[in-house]
Amino acid sequence: MENQIIILRLGHRLPRDERISTHVCLVARAFGASGVFYSGQHDSSLESSVSSIVKNLGGNFSISYEKNYSNLIKKLKNDGFSVVHLTMYGIPLPEKLDKVKSNKKLLVIVGAEQVPKNVYELADFNIAITNQPHSEVAALAVFLDRISDGYYLNNIGFKDAKISIKPNEMGKQIIR
Ligand code: SAM
């Protein structure tokens, strides 16, 4: 995929978001993003579990904590990133897909708790994956899949993986 995509996960709460923030990172990596920034509470165990997945299953993917998410958004905008905030209050993705896709560098923001108003204002696009409430993991997966035209559905392994999976009709086969 040509686009460079970075994710910002807002408002990580311990212990409540441990699993869901990990899943945000796993979806981001599997569907072609180059890294995740997260704000809220610092969580070294989130960082080490994501780093361990990358170490074993490969991919060029980073995770970093960012205390001041507004500064990060502004900095990445200055670096040429367009900002997409995923929210059920936004415009349905099909209406904006071509416009969003035309940006080569994207910062994609997902929330946890109530998302502050300035995020809506800093975003270039407030995008809904349906205007119904669901989950940041689902919203991110659908968004990344649509933006990449399903490219990563065929990703059976990253080049630098120590471990990869051989697709199988039945059972599990791991290649080391
Ligand atoms: N109550 C929070 C609020 O008012 O902002 C949202 C909580 S929701 C569980 C967490 C995140 O999931 C949202 O911030 C958003 O990024 C994402 N999300 C949930 N439903 C969505 C939808 N229909 N479209 C896009 N993103 C969605």
Q: Is 110 in the pocket of ligand 1 (CB under 6 A)?
A: yes
Q: What is the pLDDT of residue 105?
A: 98
Read off the pLDDT band of 22 (50, 70, 90). Answer: very high
Spatial contact of 113 and 88, defined as CB atoms under 8 Å apart: no
- Per-residue pLDDT of 79-89, as tens digits, reads 999 999 999 99
Nearest ligand 1 atom, CA 109:
16
The answer to whether 77 touches 122, Cβ cutoff 8 Å, is yes
Which CATH superfamily is 4-175 part of? SPOUT methyltransferase, trefoil knot domain (3.40.1280.10)
Phi, psi for 104 (deg, rounded to 5): -80, -25
Q: Ligand 1 pocket, 161 CB below 6 A?
A: no
pTM score of the predicted model: 0.96
Q: Is the CB of 70 under 6 A from ligand 1?
A: no
Q: How confident is the model at residue 1 (pLDDT cuts 50, 70, 90)?
A: low
pLDDT reading at 27 higher than 90: yes
Give the model confidence (pLDDT) of 109-135 as tens digits. 999 989 999 999 999 999 999 999 999
Task: Report whether residue 16 contacts ligand 1, using a CB cutoff of 6 Å.
Answer: no
